Amino acid sequence: MSAHSQGNHDRVGRLLTHSDRAARLDLTALERRRLHQARQSLSSMAESRRVYGVTHGFGPLVGYRADPDRESQGLGLVSHLAVGQGPPLPPDVTRTMVWLRLRGMALGHSAVDPGIWQLLADQWNAGFTPVVPQEGSLSASGDLVPLAHAALAAAGDPHGQEAWRNEGGRWVRGSAGDVLRSLDVEPVRWEARSALAFVNGSSACLARALHTHREATALIRAAAAVTGRTVALLGTSREPYEDALSRVRNQPGQRRVAGWIRRELAAGVSPGPGRPLQERYSLRCAPQVLGAVLDQLDLQERVLLDEAAGCTDNPVLVDGELLHGGNFHAAPVGFASEAHASCLHQVAYLLERQLALVLDPSANGGLPPLLTPRPGADSGFAGVQIAATSHLARLRQLAHPASFTAVPTNLNNQDHVPMALNSANAVAAMTDRAWWILGSLLLAVNQLAHLTSGPPGEGLWEELRTCFPALDRDRPLATEVTAAAEAARTRFLALPSPEADAAPVPAMG
- Residues serving a catalytic function are 52
Of 402, 432, 421, 428, whose CA–CA distance to 135 is shortest? 421
Q: Which residues pair with 135 in a beta bridge?
A: 85
What stretches of 295-426 adopt beta strand conformation (E)?
316-318, 321-323
Alpha helices in 87-239 (DSSP H): 91-105, 114-126, 144-154, 176-182, 192-199, 203-234
User: Dihedral angle at the C-alpha atoms of 109, 115, 120, 122, nearest 10 degrees?
Assistant: 130
Cα separation, 96 vs 169, whole angstroms = 17
Beta strand 316-318 with 162-167 is unpaired
Distance CA 140, CA 81 (A): 14
Q: Alpha carbon of 442 to those of 188, 222, 460, 498: distances in Å?
A: 48, 10, 10, 22
* Residue pair 200/141 in contact by the 8 Å Cβ criterion: yes
> How many CB atoms sit inside 10 A of residue 146's CB?
32
Give, in order, the Cα–Cα distances in Å from 36 to each of 42, 49, 105, 492.
Answer: 10, 20, 12, 44
Neighbours of 122 (CB within 10 A): 16
